[in-house]
Amino acid sequence: MTDEIVKIDGVSKRFGDTVALHRLDMSIRAGEFVTFLGPSGCGKSTTLRILGGFETPTTGRVILNGRDVTAEPPNRRRVNMVFQDYALFPHMTVRRNIAFGLELKGLTRPQIAARSDDLMGFLELAPLADRLPDQLSGGQRQRVALARALAPDPDLLLLDEPLGALDAKLRGQVQAELKSIQRRTSKTFFFVTHDQDEALTMSDRIVVMSKGRVEQVGTPEDLYFHPASRFVADFIGETNLIVGRVASVRGDEVALDWNGQRLIGCAPRDGAPVEGGTVAASVRLEKLMLSETRPDLPNVVPVRIVSKVFKGSRTEVGVRVDGGDETPLRAYVDTALGHALGDGQIWAGWSADAMAVLRD
């Protein structure tokens, strides 16, 4: 990769009997916003700490800007970290917090003042320059932590659940702000969260992890509409899981027998399923169309409505194949349409592209 800034090459980490990471391989481009997403204990922080130099991998190498830094301490890497609790110095003003890393680097006073002023202007902190951290709001503290981490001009910024302490509303605002700062600075951000919405909103690419392994890497759209595994389909967003028997595989088109119906879906990118085997497929709720007239789609199933849950502008409608006893399929429909749909038999339809057949 040409503008590769970070390469993680076969990195594993063991703590005694615990294998926190299994042979992680990954390449990151300069300027990317990459998010590590996964449940508690899956190895997100461990990966970040290895990149930052706070932890040594058991095997493998970390290459930063073409240089092997695996054995180098944090201060020899052009990397900085923002922690969940921000770890601001409570007895120092905003200005001194930001200047601290620059003093350590041995810059002159005028250089330090110029750089701090720049960052405070950029992050709209200038009016707060003389306040102490406990005189700031959560979002303001977050901006100071970010300014402090950006001050020494690192190549890579590591952010370990930096928004965890904020309430839902502020969190949304700060997410947008953080993303905009990342765009404007063109810095490479490595962000950790266990919140899938946050990952979908902010990332150029998401790395979904489970138990120390990478489940899937892709753009938010990729992961959402083409999850490779059941874990990813379940972890990201709401979905219908359809479990059927593989009738045939042609190229990336997979025919499934399900409930007496023939369905067409698309194969996972990393390998076609075996004919005759049982597989699961994911269909997102908003991809399932309901109508009283038979739609012109490759997957069309006669159904009856079994539930309606009002969710504001849209309604979640549960449907079941006429006479079937399987778990109902769920669809999001416009609330007006939801009201209009009657009790008789209707049609559920979806495209082949909307049905992602999952690995294993």
Ligand X SMILES: Nc1ncnc2c1ncn2[C@@H]1O[C@H](COP(=O)(O)OP(=O)(O)OP(=O)(O)O)[C@@H](O)[C@H]1O
- Which chain residues interact with ligand X by CB under 6 A? 15, 18, 20, 38, 40-46, 194
β-strand partners of 333: 315
C-alpha 150/C-alpha 292 separation (Å) is 57
Nearer to ligand X, 49 or 115 (CB): 49
Which residue carries 């269909």 as its tokens? Answer: 283
Return the CA Rg of the chain. Answer: 25
Nearer to Mg ion, 207 or 267 (CB): 207
Task: Select the binding partner of residue 18 from Mg ion, ligand X, none (C-beta < 5 to 8 A, by kind).
Answer: ligand X
Closest separation between CB of residue 141 and ligand X, Å? 20
Nearer to ligand X, 195 or 316 (CB): 195
Nearer to Mg ion, 203 or 315 (CB): 203
x-or-dash pattern for Mg ion, window 76-115, by CB under 5 A? ----------------------------------------
Q: Which residue is nearest to Mg ion (CB)?
A: 45
Q: How crowded is residue 167: how many other Cβ atoms within 10 Å of its Cβ?
A: 9
User: Residue 37's Cα: distance from chain center in Å?
Assistant: 5
Work out whether 45 is an interface residue with Mg ion (CB under 5 A). Answer: yes
Q: How crowded is residue 206: how many other Cβ atoms within 10 Å of its Cβ?
A: 28
Nearer to ligand X, 24 or 301 (CB): 24
Closest separation between CB of residue 85 and ligand X, Å? 13
Task: Select the binding partner of residue 345 from ligand X, Mg ion, none (C-beta < 5 to 8 A, by kind).
Answer: none
Work out whether 193 is an interface residue with Mg ion (CB under 5 A). Answer: no
Nearer to Mg ion, 45 or 97 (CB): 45
Closest separation between CB of residue 42 and ligand X, Å? 4
Work out whether 35 is an interface residue with Mg ion (CB under 5 A). Answer: no
Stretch in the footprint of Mg ion (CB under 5 A) among 22-30, 43-51, 85-93, 147-155? 43-51
According to DSSP, the β-strands at 213-218 and 239-250 are unpaired
Alpha carbons within 13 A on the beta-carbon side of 123 = 31
Closest among 74, 31, 80, 78 to 56, alpha carbons compared: 74
- Report the length, in residues, of the chain: 360
If DSSP codes are grouped into helix, strand and coil, which group holds residue 321?
A: strand
Task: Select the binding partner of residue 40 from ligand X, Mg ion, none (C-beta < 5 to 8 A, by kind).
Answer: ligand X
Closest separation between CB of residue 44 and ligand X, Å? 3
Closest separation between CB of residue 55 and ligand X, Å? 8
Nearer to ligand X, 162 or 268 (CB): 162
Beta-carbon contacts of residue 126 (< 8 Å; ≥ 6 apart)? 117, 120
Beta-carbon contacts of residue 53 (< 8 Å; ≥ 6 apart)? 69, 72, 73, 74, 76, 77, 79
Q: Are 329 and 269 in contact (CB under 8 A)?
A: no
112-171 positions binding Mg ion, by CB under 5 A: none
Closest separation between CB of residue 15 and ligand X, Å? 3
Closest separation between CB of residue 255 and ligand X, Å? 38
Closest among 250, 214, 254, 245 to 232, alpha carbons compared: 214
CA distance from start to end of the chain: 30
Closest separation between CB of residue 299 and ligand X, Å? 37
Task: Name the site residues for Mg ion (rule: CB under 5 A).
Answer: 45
